[in-house]
Homo-oligomer: A and B are copies of this chain.
Amino acid sequence: MNFPSKLIEDAVTEISRLPGIGKKTALRLALHLLKQHEANTEALALAITRMRTEIQYCKTCHNISDAEECSICISHRRDGSLLCVVEDIRDVLAIENTNQFQGKYHVLGGVISPIQGIGPEELKIESLLSRVEVAAQSAPIKEVILALSATMEGDTTSFYLAKKLKEKGVQVSSIARGIPVGGELEFTDEVTLGRSIMTRINYATE
């Protein structure tokens, strides 16, 4: 594409660096901004710059935060004895949206993936283990829920963590894998279906 203006060309180039946004979409967004009031573009530019430069990561759970420690970690209404281990920040938001979890979080920052060169050292695993150890002296963490993706990498990481955590004497659980709510049996893949039979829930003890 030959742009009639260097300014718009630069803007399109920068916008199209974002994931999932090609040159055509970038141009559409740039022309949209041109039609809007100047203040809107300034607000957008300021918001992303401030976010990038001022954001912090919670020193306890590594979630994004506006302060040294995030709002979930400092909250007294959350159950500190229950810890949910997730891959990244989006998972925290997803679980928070369910309103089903009242414990605290630990954000790993990824999963173990030898192909991508991500080993246990690259993740916040050491921090998780020492967090469990430190807590044991005052307010012990009773259960760690592993809420990682049901992929090979996620399962590998869960297995690794379960082994390490059990050495520290905490109960370890994993979120249930099975048929999604509203899902039909015949359209469920055989691995999921097989696993949902193996890990069936006893009605009497539920």
Contacts and interface: CB of A to CB of B under 8 A. Distances in A.
A150 to B, nearest CB: 20
Q: Which of A4, A50, A96 has the most CB of B within 10 A?
A: A4
Interface string A86-108: 00111011001100000000000
A126 to B, nearest CB: 21
Contacts of A47: 10-11, 13-15
A33 interface: yes
Number of copies: 2
A38 interface: yes
A18 B32 contact: yes
B14 A48 contact: yes
A187 interface: no
A183 interface: no
A128 to B, nearest CB: 18
Contacts of A40: 17
A203 interface: no
A175 interface: no
B5 A48 contact: no
A29 B65 CA distance: 17
Interface in A56-104: 63-66, 70-72, 88-90, 92-93, 96-97
A200 interface: no
A143 to B, nearest CB: 22
Contact of A4 (B30, B48, B71): B71
A17 B48 CA distance: 13
Contact of A52 (B34, B49, B52): B34
A135 interface: no
13 contacts: A2-B97, A7-B50, A11-B48, A14-B48, A15-B44, A15-B48, A17-B44, A18-B44, A19-B29, A33-B51, A38-B52, A44-B45, A45-B48
